[in-house]
Each structure stands twice: as structure tokens, then as C-alpha cells.
A and B are shown apart, each in its own frame.
Chain A
């Protein structure tokens, strides 16, 4: 996946000048891009020491927290946009965090690997867990502890009364709106409470 192009693709969903909270912000590249290109402000949340350091080096404000401990530090609707880009699949309490995302943000944007992408299905049919460019890990050492699909997310959102404003797949930094559950390695959802 071309990181730059994917970042631009996500950034398209963020309104200009938004106050953004980026959960699992990694090295801060997306937030830095949003600050410089879209006049956004806000914080990243990250657990990893090296990533926190990279954020500081980029001038991105970062709060070092374990997301599995919740978002009690943040008030209801205190951000225009809360991002959860490739974070959901690593969280023990993924459901709680999803609810927290739309509590803290007026708008939530969630992206995660779609396990129903056809090469993954093929792999399972052949009796093996998928190892792909998008999912490069072996089953025994993957950080992806929440294995879900595009369609699974729709069910989870409905269960928690979360409104899906838009949803699509992403493949090679291109949006996929036809059969995304089958054709896209990445699922993107724009949600609100």
C-alpha cells in the first residue's frame, strides 16, 4: 500500500481546519500532513516509545497512552474528527473504543484491513491463514487480534447505534465502491453517533 497516497485518501475525508484526535497515530505522518495541508490541529495518541519520539521530531503533539485503558482523558464531542487508522484491529476492547471514538469526536473515521478481501478468502479456502502485502504477519505473531471484515463492521456499528455516513474500500490508494467486502484490502468507514 502506498502510504503517501493512502494518507491523502484519508485526509480527503477530514474537513479543512478540523480539530483532530488521531488514535494510534504511529509516527505522526498523517497528523503532520493534516496540519500542513489542511490547517488542522489536535493530538495523536500512541503507545510506542519510538513512535512518540518520531511525533515529537515532526512537531506533532502526541499523548502517550494505552488505548486499551480508554479515552477518559477526553471530553464528549471535544474533537471535530477522531481518526482510528489501522488501530482497531490491534485493540483488545475494540468495541468500546469504537463507541468512544464517536463519543469524543463529532465525526469518526475508521480504517482497518478487510479480512474478506478475495485473496484472503482464497487463502482460507486453501486451508491457510492469509499472509499478504496488507497482512504481512504469520498467524502466530500478528498484532491483529481483531480479525474482521467490511461487512462485520456494518453489523458492529448497527449494534452500537453508530450511524455510517459513508463507507468504501481502498485498494492501491484508489477508492473501491463496488463489492468492497470482496475487492478491497482496506475498509474505510465515516461514522457518527
Chain B
């Protein structure tokens, strides 16, 4: 069962100080909410998005050409009767600053110059995003989140919330994530960024003024990314060495194998809706995230003040955000005697598994939220 989602915009005029030292004088955030806030306002769940997603987490848009194409990116997880049940919880999806899906980003006008921000858009970090999210959550009248949840880069935000606002989050659900990126992971991001920046249509990030899009760069960036989100097994099962045509053409440039065709298609699709500057900004936010950095690289020390309970989930075939990285988070939580449950799901789909339907994965999340629901209901009864 699904439902109609309605995107909204909230404007902010109080300047936002960024980690880089720069500030955004004014900005707006796109968001959606599902379900209803209860009278105690203690059933709010914030969903944080990863690289190429948005505030449109669940449901469909009413006015969309085809409703099936407008399904929210985590509709398997969130909705009425779903693992995160919108009949019980008030769920908020927020689009992050710098994105290209509605919140203030590099394609919008810089009020100071009256030109598109382009490459001048300030570099934003996970911590900056959390700061902006906090303002929106407060503006919705929510003092304390019952849960904050995300996968991949979204998981980093869910973790960062508990460090930046230890007493404002009850539960943090961190899925297919990591306490920071390792060198290999930064390397993949860098190749993607170079592909974009070296595209002649990029124009130093100011391509909007030239009415062009650095499609070639975006395509390659997406192709690389896509490879790292899948597992070797899944790719082999799906494509193997299957040829596009009946016979080999002995061509170095034409598509020979199905996997090539698939990657080109994914790249093509991506380049039609994603912004090049956004890609640079978001991959940089990934690179910079490192909460242990100020604590002699000791994650346990970094977690000292943290109060939330955690559900950490990883996927065995995910090599971009491998289980061992999730176990680092779990270990630091155990060192601090924090409440944590950790599930390592034996799904074949690599990093992408966090967005897919897997019974074991969804059941654990469902059971975890049922427990949260019990706690909320107990509080409500005490209040009556």
C-alpha cells in the first residue's frame, strides 16, 4: 500500500555557519512528512539521504506523469504497515543543502552575485547538514527525535546527530555505513570528481551560464559509482559475459558486453537528472566525515558523550561500506557501554542491498521499531 506524498519548502533567514568557516546567509530546505506527530511529539523519525537521493523518501506524487516513476527511494522501508510504520511514526524526509532536488544548491542564485552559485557554492559537511536538519526539525515543533535513520552517507548523518545533539536523539539506525571513508573509498570518489571536472562542458562549475551540462563526466562518475554499489556475484549473475549482439564485433569502442550497455544506460539516466556540482559537493562531504579525527583517531573517545541507542546493520557482500567498518562503530559503542544491536545481513546485492527488499533486513528494522513503539506507547499511557 502506498500513499500520496507532498513536497514542501521551508525558508531560513538566520545565517548557517559552516565547518569550512563560510556561512550561508539564507537558504531553503525541501522536505516531506508522512504520518502524524502525536500529542507528546515523541514519535518523530528523521530519514537522512545518501548520495543521489532526496527528501522524497516514500509514497508517490499525485501530479506525476506516471505514479510508478515517482515512488520514494525508501518506499520498501517506510509507509503504512511498513517496517517504519507511518501509522505509528511521524516520518520526516529532508533534502540536504547542496543537493539538486529542491533545497538550496549550486544551481540556485547566489544572492550576492545574482548569478548561479556554481563552483562558488560553499563546501558543506555532514555536520553542516545535521545542523540544517536540526533547524527544520525544531521548526516543526519537535524537541527530541525518537529516531534518526539512514543508509550509507545517510548513516553517517544518523551517527553525527547523536554526536552533535546527544540528548536530542533517542535511537540511531545506521545502515551500510562507516565511521569514515578509507583511502580506496576516497579514491573512487576522486576518480568520479575528476571525470566531471575534466569534462569540457563543466566550465569550472559554471556550466549553467553556458547552457550546457557536463554529461560525459557525470556518466563516467555514475558508471564508477554503480560498479562499487554492486557485488561481483550479482554482476556476474545478472550479466556474466553475455554479449549485446550475437557476434563479437572486434571493436574497441562499440558496446560488446551487456554489462557495458547497462553501465552506459545507468550513466545516461543519471546525467539527465543529477547536477555535476552537487556530485562534487556530496562526495566531498563523504570524504570529510571523520568524527574520530579530533579524538586522536579514537572512535571510542569520540563516542564518549553519546547517549542514543543504536541499531547498526551491514551487508556481507558490501565492499564499498564493508561489515568491518560497521563493526568499528559497534565496537566503539560497546566500549562506551551504549545500547547497540548489530545485524550482518547475508544479502548478495553489495552496497545496494540497503535500498532493496530483503526479508531478514526489513524484519530486523521492523522488530526494532516495534520495540521503540512500545516505549513510546508506555510513555503516552504514563502521561494520561
Chain A interface (Cβ within 8 Å of chain B)? 19, 43, 49, 52-53, 55-57, 59, 61-65, 73-75, 78
Complex Cα distance, B337 from A19, in Å, reads 9
> Which residues on the B side are within 8 Å of A49 (C-beta)?
345-346, 360
> Which residues on the A side are within 8 Å of B367 (C-beta)?
53, 56-57
B341–A63 CB distance below 8 A? yes
Complex Cα distance, B368 from A62, in Å, reads 11
Of A43, A57, A61, A64, most buried by chain B (CB within 10 Å of CB) is A64
**Per-position 1/0 for B364-375, Cβ under 8 A of A:** 100110110010
- How far apart are B366's CB and chain A's nearest CB, in angstroms? 9
Given contacts A59-B371, A75-B335, 6 further A-B contacts (CB under 8 A): A43-B334, A53-B367, A56-B367, A73-B334, A74-B334, A78-B335
A-B contact pairs, 6 of them (CB 8 A): A43-B334, A49-B360, A53-B363, A57-B370, A63-B330, A73-B334
B331 at the interface (CB under 8 A from A): yes
Given contacts A49-B346, A49-B360, A75-B335, contact A55 B341 (CB under 8 A): yes
> Which residues on the B side are within 8 Å of A78 (C-beta)?
334-335
A62–B335 CB distance below 8 A? no
A63–B346 CB distance below 8 A? no
Tally B residues with Cβ within 8 Å of A: 22
Complex Cα distance, B343 from A62, in Å, reads 8
A52–B343 CB distance below 8 A? yes
Given contacts A53-B360, A59-B371, contact A73 B330 (CB under 8 A): yes
> Which residues on the A side are within 8 Å of B345 (C-beta)?
49
> Which residues on the A side are within 8 Å of B331 (C-beta)?
73
Query: CB-nearest residue of chain B relative to A75?
Result: B335
Query: CB-nearest residue of chain B relative to A55?
Result: B341
Query: CB-nearest residue of chain B relative to A49?
Result: B360
Secondary structure type dominating chain B contacts? helix
Complex Cα distance, B342 from A19, in Å, reads 18
A62–B346 CB distance below 8 A? no
B344 at the interface (CB under 8 A from A): yes
> Which residues on the A side are within 8 Å of B374 (C-beta)?
59
Query: CB-nearest residue of chain A relative to B332?
Result: A73
B340 at the interface (CB under 8 A from A): yes
Complex Cα distance, B300 from A74, in Å, reads 12
Complex Cα distance, B363 from A5, in Å, reads 30
Complex Cα distance, B22 from A131, in Å, reads 73
A62 partner, pick from B334, B337, B342, beta carbons under 8 A: B342
B339 at the interface (CB under 8 A from A): yes
- How far apart are B155's CB and chain A's nearest CB, in angstroms? 17
> Which residues on the A side are within 8 Å of B203 (C-beta)?
none
B327 at the interface (CB under 8 A from A): yes
A64 partner, pick from B343, B368, B371, beta carbons under 8 A: B343
> Which residues on the B side are within 8 Å of A74 (C-beta)?
334
Given contacts A49-B346, A49-B360, A75-B335, contact A61 B340 (CB under 8 A): yes
> Which residues on the A side are within 8 Å of B334 (C-beta)?
43, 63, 73-74, 78
Complex Cα distance, B341 from A19, in Å, reads 16
The 8 closest A-B pairs by CB, nearest first: A56-B367, A64-B344, A63-B342, A73-B331, A57-B367, A49-B360, A64-B343, A61-B341
> Which residues on the A side are within 8 Å of B335 (C-beta)?
75, 78
- How far apart are A61's CB and chain B's nearest CB, in angstroms? 5
> Which residues on the B side are within 8 Å of A43 (C-beta)?
334, 340
- How far apart are A172's CB and chain B's nearest CB, in angstroms? 34
Complex Cα distance, B335 from A74, in Å, reads 8
Query: CB-nearest residue of chain A relative to B367?
Result: A56
Complex Cα distance, B371 from A61, in Å, reads 11
Complex Cα distance, B300 from A75, in Å, reads 12
A56–B341 CB distance below 8 A? yes
Complex Cα distance, B374 from A57, in Å, reads 11
A64–B342 CB distance below 8 A? yes
Would you list which residues of chain B between 315 and 355 have a CB under 8 Å from chain A? 327, 330-331, 334-335, 337, 339-346
- How far apart are A173's CB and chain B's nearest CB, in angstroms? 30
> Which residues on the A side are within 8 Å of B363 (C-beta)?
53
A61–B337 CB distance below 8 A? no
Complex Cα distance, B342 from A62, in Å, reads 6
Complex Cα distance, B339 from A29, in Å, reads 18
> Which residues on the B side are within 8 Å of A63 (C-beta)?
330, 334, 340-342
A53–B364 CB distance below 8 A? yes
Complex Cα distance, B330 from A78, in Å, reads 15
- How far apart are A153's CB and chain B's nearest CB, in angstroms? 28
